[in-house]
Amino acid sequence: MTMHFECALCQESGGEILGEDALCRVVLVDEPGYPGFCRVILNRHVAEMSDLSESERATLMQRVFAVETVIRDTLNPDKINLASLGNVVPHVHWHVIPRWRDDRHFPNPIWTAPSRPDAVVSVTPAQLAELQQRIGALF
């Protein structure tokens, strides 16, 4: 893995690793109120998708879409948000965020002030275990 000494995603996993190969890793993010929130993180330091080869871009996006599909199938959220910002951490990574109409921020992005700070999304431990197993099986 090519690392950049100032990059958090080069220095740390970014969450609980569910699966990994030479190109990328998928991690489960510990974000209160958002069970099943995953990130697909490139395993080398690159700031922009256009810095990747065409085949790397295609493979990375196939992985993002596969993670989205697993989240939809196992957790049944109302919506999935896909985001690749990189303003704070300029390292290619995709957020795959399950959203529910009654979550803390819906319909706004999760990075805004919560409109319902006490809202709790109900996902069972069995659903999370299935999610982890199925994402691991992608690799």
71-124 residue pLDDT tens: 999 999 999 999 999 888 899 999 999 999 999 999 999 989 999 988 889 899
5-37 residue pLDDT tens: 689 999 999 999 999 999 999 999 988 889 999
| Intra-chain end-to-end CA distance of the chain, in Å | 17
The sign one gets for the Cα dihedral 108, 76, 93, 53 is negative
The reported pTM is 0.92
**Which residue ranges form the domains of the chain, and what is each CATH number?**
8-136 (3.30.428.10)
- For residue 41 the two structure tokens come to 């993180």
